[in-house]
Structure 1
C-alpha cells in the first residue's frame, strides 16, 4: 500500500525550562504562535493529514502512523525540500567544498558493465545505459554521480551533502581513467576476511590490494602533483559489488549451497560453486568474487552497482565517522542499531525498491537516495541545525522542558540530553538489548522529504548515543519493538523467509507519534536514567512544514516553579452516530509551562497529555458513546498534587 505523502519541516520556536525563546523569524510561519495549536479550531496554516479526518464520526487519531517498507517505494515517493536548490552545482558549500577525484579501473577479465550490451551479464546488467565507449565511461559516471540529469533524476552527491549539512559541505568531482589493473577482478574481490581465504582459483593470487594498484596507475598517468590536488579519492571498480549481490545471487537464488549452478561457479572446476561471504556461511562463487565497498583515510572503494548513497556513506568514513550496523543473521541475534534512519547504518540502502534492488547497474534503485545522518553524527561532523542541549542533572533542577522540533531535512537540529555520570541502564543480554554504556539521548524529527523521502515514516526519532564510535554508538528507541512480522523474500522452492529480528527493517515502525490510537507510542520512560520523553502534538504550516511539540523531564525533580491547574466543565450533543465530544477548557495557573495528563474513565481521549504555557489556557477533547457523563481529571506531570477534576456531560 502506498504511504501517505508527507511534506516538509523546519525548527522554529523553543521553550527552555518554561520560558519562550524564539528562533530566527525565517524559521517559523507568520502568525503561528505556539498556543494556537492548542485551540480546537483549524487554522489555515495547519495543512495536516489529521485535518482530513474532520467530519468523520467519533474520535480519530491526531497523528496516525502510516509507515511503508522501503521495498515497495517508487520514485513517486520523492518530495523536494521547498525553497532549496541543493543540487545546483554552482552553489558551493559555505564552509567547505571538497575537491574529489573519481578514479576508474577495470580488469583483463572484467570491462565496465556499461560498455556491454543491455542485460548481457550474468546479473542481467546493464540496465538503461549500455554500449558506451570505454573512453566515455569516466565522464558518464562523474555526471551520473554529481551532475543533475534524467538518469539520476536530478540527485547528486553534492546535493546530499548540501542538504544534510544545511549548505555547509559541497562536493566536486573530477574523473580519471579508465586504468586496467594488472590482475583479474576476482583476485581483488576474494580476500582473507569475508571469504576466509577460500575460493581462489588455481594459478591466481587473491587478496590483492586494489587501492595500491589503482593509485599506482593513476599516479603513473597524471603524476604525484596532480594527485595531491584532491581532498579525497573515490576508486570506482568495474562490475558488481558483493554487498549488493551476496544475498540476491546466493541464498535468494539457490535454496542450498549445493544448488549453486556451474555458471555461478569459479573458472576452476576443482573449487565448489559456492564460497564464504560476510554475513552468512555461503553465497555463489561469482557473488563472492566481487569487491566490497569500503573506506580508509582519504579514499573509498565502490563498484558500478554502488548507488549514490554508497558514496555518501563512504565519504562519511573519510570524514571520520564509523559504521553503526549489525549482522542481520548473526548468532546470537541482535537487533539493528539505527536502521533506515541513519546513513551510517542501513539508511544507505534507501531508495526505490529497497535493499534487494541494489545490484542494478547503473545504481538507480535501492541505495540511490540514502537517509540523512542522525543528530549524533551531524553534531560530530559539525553540520547539525539548532540543537537544544540539556542534561539529566540540570533537568532535575530546572523542571521539564517543552520545545518544538521540526524535520531535519528542512534544517532542524533537535535535542541532546547528556546523561551526567553515564548510562545507568541495567545489564541485559536479549536481542533487543542496547548493550549499555551510552552518554546521551537525542530527539529529532524525520519527515519523508528530500533525502529522507525514502525513510519509512514521518515522526519523532528518539535514540541513545555514545560519544565514541564504539558500535552500537547510536541505538534507536523502537516505539514498536515487537517483531514486524514481514516477509523478506521467497526461496526458490517457494518457502517465504521472514525478516530476521536483526533486519534493519524491523525499525521501519520505530518513530513516535502524538496522541492515542496512532499505532505507535507518544511517550517513553527510562526509569534507570530517570528521564521521561513526551510527543505532545504535531502541525504543518502553509508550506507543509511538519513540527512536533515535545517535552522531556527528569523523574528526580520538578524545579522550583509552583505547579497548579484548573479545569472547567463542558457539555456536548450527540451526533447521528451516537458520539458526543466535550471540549474541556484547561488553564495552567502555575508559574511555568507544564505538561498535564488527562484521564476520563469510560471516555475516549485523542490525547492524554498536553502542554500549556504558564497563565494560558488550552483545551482537551473528551468523547462519549453510550453514556451521558464522565469525570475528567487533569494532573500536572511535574507535581501530582496539582490536579483538577471536572465533568463532561451530554445534554441530549
Structure 2
C-alpha cells in the first residue's frame, strides 16, 4: 500500500498546498452555534471576511513616497490556495436550497454504481487504498452512500463548506438556473471496474487483462441497472442523469500516480500494476505515453446528451463542467503535454476549460476522496458561454460591432465583476477575423484564426471565482461555433510564467509546460502603469483598440472597471477637443513632487486621452473624460524641476493640448 505520506515526499511542493487546503481555518471549519436568525443563509452557516477587506488591505501608497500603481496585479497560482481564499458574493445567498431558479430548476438523478472488485471508497477504512483514500469520510455502510453523495454535492454542510452544484449554477446564472438531485443505487455492475475504465481511445488498445473484455460502456450498463430497479416511468421524470462510479477517476490520477510518482514507466511498482502478470505495470493514457496501470484503469469523466459520468474523486466542478455539456457547450482546452506544444485556450477563467480544476490545492489535489480540494470550486463561465447558455444579463452586455465602432467612435463603459452581474462587452468582427495566418504546429501561441468576436469582462476573486488566480479584466477572442479553440484568452503576460509544476521522484523541479493552463494565471489586464500587467490591447489586423482605464469598488465591495474600445478606422462624427492647465507641486520628504493636471474634454462626445510627460512618472497614461467635463491626471517628478505635459485625443490626434508640471512654481487653473 502507498500512503499519503509517501506521495507527499515525492511531490512535496504540490502536496503541501493540498495539506493547507484541507486544513482550512477555524472560522470556516464548522458553523457557529449562536447567530442572528435574520442573517442571510450563507453568512449564518459560513461567515466570511468580506472580499474588499482583504483585497483593499494593501494600500496604493507606501514607504518611500512617490507614485504607486493604481491597480497592481497580485495573482496567485491555484496550487497554493486554501479555503481561506473563499469570499462570498456581496448581497447574495445562492446556496440557500429553498431558492429556486427564476427560469428553471433542473431535476437530476444521481445514479451510483460499484463493481465486484471496487466498492465505494467511502465505505473503506481511512487511507486504506493505494491512493491514500478515503480522507475525512470512511467506513460508511453501502446503503448510506447514495444519500451521502447526494448531500455532499447538493446540500450545504460541513464537508462541502456550504457549497453545492445548485449554488454554482444559481451564482453563474445570476439566479436563473438551479439544480435538484435525487439519488439511486448502489447498483453493482456486471463487470470489473477496469473493464469500463480501460478504453480503446485513452489506452489505445493496450492493458486489458487476459480473459477480460475492456472498453465496456459503463453508461449503458448503469442505466440498465437503474431502469431495472425503478422503471422507465420513474426515470423519465428527470431532466438529466449523473452516473457516479465507485473509485478514482483517471483525469485526477494519470499524472499524480504516473510521472509525478514514478521516474520511468519501468519504475511503476506492482501495487500499481494489473492483475495480469503478463502485462507491464504501466499503460497508455490520454495526454502522454504512459501512466501506472491502475491509474489508466480508472474511468474518465465525460458527458453525452442527457447524462454524464463521474467518479468519487470528481469534485463538484466536474459535475458543473459535465452539466455544461448536457446543456450543449463543448470543451475548450488543449493537451498541456502535446507535441507540438500549444498554449492553453481559456485557462483557469472558464468552466469548460481548466477552470474546472479550480479549488484549494489546484490541479494536483484532484485525486482526493471525497473531492474537497482541486475541482471543488470551479470558475464561472466566460461571457461567450453565458450568452450561449442564455444566462448573461442582457442589460449588462454592451453589444458592439467593428464596423459600427468606426462610425460611432470610441465607446466607454463600466463593467461589473461577473460574479455580481453577468455582463461585459461583445464586439462582433464583421466580415470575419482578419488576423494574419499562423501555424499552430510551429507556433505555440497561434490562436488558429477564424474568430467571430471579442469579449471583455471583469473577474473578481469572489464566489466560485474565489479560486481564479487574479482579479482584473479578461479579454478574449471567440467563435460562434464550438470549434475548439472557440475562446482564446488574450494574455496580458504572454511570457513563460516560469513556475514549478511538480517535483519529480528524483527531487528535480519540473517547470510548467508552455501548454499548461496556469501559464494564463497572470493573463488579466489591469488599469494604469506599473501594475505588472497591461492596460491596453491593440489588434491592428482587426482594427480594434481596447483600454482598461480605471478600477473601483463600491461600498458593498463590488469590483468594476471603466473600459473603452475604439476602431482604428474611424473616430465617429463628434468634434474632438481638449484643454489642459499647468500645475505646480512641492517635493515631499522622499524628493517626489506630484502635480494634478486638469484636463477638460472640449469635444462633443466622451473621449479617451493619452498623457505624455518626459522625465516624469505617470500612474495613468490614458484617461476617459465625458464631453464638457474636467478630470485630472497625476504627474510625478523626482529629479526634474519642470516637464511639459501633452494630452492627446486617441480618437483624433489633432486634438491636443500642451501644458506643464513644475516644482515650486506659480500655479493657475481652469477658468470659470
User: Same fold judged by TM-score > 0.5?
Assistant: yes
Does structure 2 retain, via aligned residues, the 8 Å contact 1:196–1:276? yes
In 2, Cα distance between the equivalents of 1:594 and 1:583?
Answer: 19
- Tell me whether 425-434 or 459-468 shows the greater mean CA deviation: 425-434
Residue 166 in structure 1 maps to residue 174 in structure 2: yes
In 1, Cα distance between the equivalents of 2:141 and 2:56?
Answer: 51
Of 75, 79, 83 in structure 2, the residue corresponding to residue 75 of structure 1 is 83
Matched with 2:293 is: 285
Residue 228 in structure 1 maps to residue 236 in structure 2: yes
Of 519, 531, 534 in structure 1, the residue corresponding to residue 532 of structure 2 is 519
Q: Please report how far the alpha carbon of residue 45 of structure 1 lies from its aligned counterpart in structure 2 after TM superposition.
A: 13
Matched with 2:38 is: none
Of 328, 342, 351 in structure 2, the residue corresponding to residue 334 of structure 1 is 342
Q: Please report how far the alpha carbon of residue 71 of structure 1 lies from its aligned counterpart in structure 2 after TM superposition.
A: 0.1
In 2, Cα distance between the equivalents of 1:374 and 1:424?
Answer: 23
Gaps of 5+ in 1: 3-43
- Against the structure 1 CA distance between its residues 46 and 538, is the aligned structure 2 distance closer, same or farther, given a 3 Å change threshold? farther
- The alignment partner of 1:485 has SS state of coil
In 1, Cα distance between the equivalents of 2:175 and 2:625?
Answer: 36
| 1:136-535 correspondence runs (5 A) | 136-385=144-393, 386-429=396-439, 430-535=443-548
- The alignment partner of 1:489 has SS state of strand
In 2, Cα distance between the equivalents of 1:251 and 1:408?
Answer: 37
In 2, Cα distance between the equivalents of 1:55 and 1:650?
Answer: 22
> 1:36-67 CA deviation, whole Å, 9 max, x = no partner?
xxxxxxxx999946755268600100000000
Q: Please report how far the alpha carbon of residue 587 of structure 1 lies from its aligned counterpart in structure 2 after TM superposition.
A: 0.3
In 2, Cα distance between the equivalents of 1:571 and 1:644?
Answer: 17
Does structure 1 retain, via aligned residues, the 8 Å contact 2:433–2:449? yes
- The alignment partner of 2:117 has SS state of coil
In 2, Cα distance between the equivalents of 1:178 and 1:494?
Answer: 42
Gaps of 5+ in 2: 1-16, 21-51, 666-672
Residue 560 in structure 1 maps to residue 548 in structure 2: no
- The alignment partner of 2:208 has SS state of coil
Does structure 2 retain, via aligned residues, the 8 Å contact 1:634–1:644? yes
RMSD: 1.5
Matched with 1:135 is: 143
> 1:353-408 CA deviation, whole Å, 9 max, x = no partner?
00000000000000000000000000000001221000000000000000000100
In 2, Cα distance between the equivalents of 1:50 and 1:457?
Answer: 15
Residue 649 in structure 1 maps to residue 635 in structure 2: no
In 2, Cα distance between the equivalents of 1:584 and 1:541?
Answer: 26
> 1:97-128 CA deviation, whole Å, 9 max, x = no partner?
00000000000000000000000000000000
In 2, Cα distance between the equivalents of 1:153 and 1:272?
Answer: 41
Matched with 2:626 is: 613
Does structure 1 retain, via aligned residues, the 8 Å contact 2:383–2:422? no
In 2, Cα distance between the equivalents of 1:52 and 1:196?
Answer: 55
After TM superposition, the runs of 4+ consecutive aligned structure 1 residues lying more than 3 A away are: 44-52
- The alignment partner of 2:419 has SS state of helix
- Tell me whether 426-435 or 394-403 shows the greater mean CA deviation: 426-435
In 1, Cα distance between the equivalents of 2:58 and 2:266?
Answer: 54
| 1:26-45 correspondence runs (5 A) | none
Does structure 1 retain, via aligned residues, the 8 Å contact 2:500–2:511? yes
Does structure 1 retain, via aligned residues, the 8 Å contact 2:607–2:649? yes
In 2, Cα distance between the equivalents of 1:456 and 1:269?
Answer: 45
In 2, Cα distance between the equivalents of 1:624 and 1:258?
Answer: 64
> 1:257-292 CA deviation, whole Å, 9 max, x = no partner?
011011110000000000000000000000000000
Does structure 1 retain, via aligned residues, the 8 Å contact 2:174–2:422? no
In 1, Cα distance between the equivalents of 2:158 and 2:474?
Answer: 33
In 2, Cα distance between the equivalents of 1:571 and 1:455?
Answer: 43
Does structure 2 retain, via aligned residues, the 8 Å contact 1:50–1:62? no
TM-score by length of 1: 0.93
- The alignment partner of 1:532 has SS state of strand
In 2, Cα distance between the equivalents of 1:465 and 1:619?
Answer: 36
In 1, Cα distance between the equivalents of 2:55 and 2:143?
Answer: 51
In 2, Cα distance between the equivalents of 1:211 and 1:643?
Answer: 67
Between the two proteins, the alignment pairs up a number of residues equal to 611
In 1, Cα distance between the equivalents of 2:631 and 2:280?
Answer: 71
Of 623, 626, 647 in structure 1, the residue corresponding to residue 636 of structure 2 is 623
In 1, Cα distance between the equivalents of 2:649 and 2:639?
Answer: 29
Does structure 1 retain, via aligned residues, the 8 Å contact 2:64–2:590? no
TM-score by length of 2: 0.90
In 1, Cα distance between the equivalents of 2:89 and 2:270?
Answer: 49
Q: Please report how far the alpha carbon of residue 542 of structure 1 lies from its aligned counterpart in structure 2 after TM superposition.
A: 1.0
> 1:428-453 CA deviation, whole Å, 9 max, x = no partner?
12101111000000000000000000
Does structure 2 retain, via aligned residues, the 8 Å contact 1:48–1:540? no
- Against the structure 1 CA distance between its residues 455 and 45, is the aligned structure 2 distance closer, same or farther, given a 3 Å change threshold? closer
- The alignment partner of 2:79 has SS state of helix
In 2, Cα distance between the equivalents of 1:621 and 1:174?
Answer: 59
Question: Per chain length, whose mean CA-contact separation is higher, i.e. which structure has more relative contact order (CA < 8 Å, sep 6+)?
Answer: 1
Q: Please report how far the alpha carbon of residue 92 of structure 1 lies from its aligned counterpart in structure 2 after TM superposition.
A: 0.3
Of 557, 567, 582 in structure 1, the residue corresponding to residue 595 of structure 2 is 582
- The alignment partner of 2:266 has SS state of helix
Does structure 2 retain, via aligned residues, the 8 Å contact 1:46–1:542? no
In 1, Cα distance between the equivalents of 2:90 and 2:410?
Answer: 33
Q: Please report how far the alpha carbon of residue 412 of structure 1 lies from its aligned counterpart in structure 2 after TM superposition.
A: 3.5
In 2, Cα distance between the equivalents of 1:490 and 1:51?
Answer: 36
Does structure 2 retain, via aligned residues, the 8 Å contact 1:459–1:513? yes
- Against the structure 1 CA distance between its residues 458 and 441, is the aligned structure 2 distance closer, same or farther, given a 3 Å change threshold? same
In 2, Cα distance between the equivalents of 1:400 and 1:609?
Answer: 13
